[in-house]
Amino acid sequence: MSAPAELLKPLTDPSATPDIVTTAVRGFNTQASASASSIGDFLWDAFNAVFQAAGRTPPAHQTHLLDFLAQLRQTTATDAEGKVLRYEDGAVWRDLPTFGWIARDLWNFDATDPKSTAEERSQRENWTAFLAQLTARSNSENGPFDFSLFALWAMRDALEEERDEAPKGAVRLAALWVRFAGEKLRKLSADRHRLGGNMGACGGKYGDCGWKGFDEDRWRTWREELREVSGKMGEDELVKAAVAKMDEL
């Protein structure tokens, strides 16, 4: 287990006291300073360790990990001369350089794959809940905690494609985004937040709608599609709760 992973291990224990967050932040700063000459490699290892920890931690027990990243961003790692460490024009730790890259790399999975193992499905759901909760905490679009683009992709994948039957794995990921970041996604839809290029394009079933990002009409479509899918999936409480939340929002 890597040094960052050792520091993060206590954060996955829901019974741990809040002071373990401060201990982990302090340890990450010490390790970053010691790795100043190879900070890119350290960041890669450190943030992969964060995602490994999040992937094995159920959503209800992720609070320490979320608080850890929030506190980490409020600190600054420096080299031996006291200069702020930077990587790819991002300050360590304010900008969380490479964190978003690693997230994007890990998201190259197929949530609709019926051959996915129970372990893979659990990891994806834990990752999704983790990024959704970070997104709910974000205070600006495109900040290091904003993964609303991933939310749109999840909703599109689950609810905007022509399929004979609902892809349960993908639908549950969409429901997790609603559960943990529904208010944020609703606001982006009300603001008609656009995304560059084809990143916010429509799924095949709604290819003629012209959506380029979040949109009121798209939100309503997601809500009705999720309602229909929920009826076909039976007693999936996560999905049923997501439908109810979308109705409230």
Q: Please tell me the predicted confidence (pLDDT) of residue 1.
A: 60
Instruction: For residue 2, name the pLDDT band (cuts at 50, 70, 90).
Output: confident
Residues 6+ apart with CB under 8 A from 169: 111, 112, 113, 116, 121, 124
Are the C-beta atoms of residues 131 and 152 closer than 8 Å to each other?
Answer: no
pLDDT mean over 170-198: 98
Least Cα distance to 78 among 88, 86, 70, 69 occurs for 86
pLDDT in tens, 192-204: 999 999 999 999 9
> Cα–Cα distances in Å, from 118 out to 34, 69, 115?
39, 28, 9
C-alpha 111 chain-centroid distance: 14
pLDDT mean over 226-245: 95
Instruction: For residue 142, name the pLDDT band (cuts at 50, 70, 90).
Output: confident
Query: CA–CA separation, 244 vs 64, rounded Å?
Result: 28
pLDDT in tens, 123-137: 999 999 999 999 999
Q: Whole-model pTM?
A: 0.97
User: Which letter, b or e, does each residue of 41-67 get, where b requires 16 or more Cβ atoms within 10 Å of its Cβ?
Assistant: ebbbbbbbbbbbbbbebebebbebbbb
Domain boundaries, the chain: 1-106, 112-249
pLDDT in tens, 38-59: 999 999 999 999 999 999 999 9
- Residue pointed to by tokens 């799924």: 203
Q: What is the DSSP string of 177-214?
A: HHHHHHHHHHHHHHTT-B-STTTTPPPGGGTTS---B-
Query: CA–CA separation, 186 vs 227, rounded Å?
Result: 16
Q: Please tell me the predicted confidence (pLDDT) of residue 57.
A: 98
- Give CA angle at 136 (98, 13), nearest 5°: 75
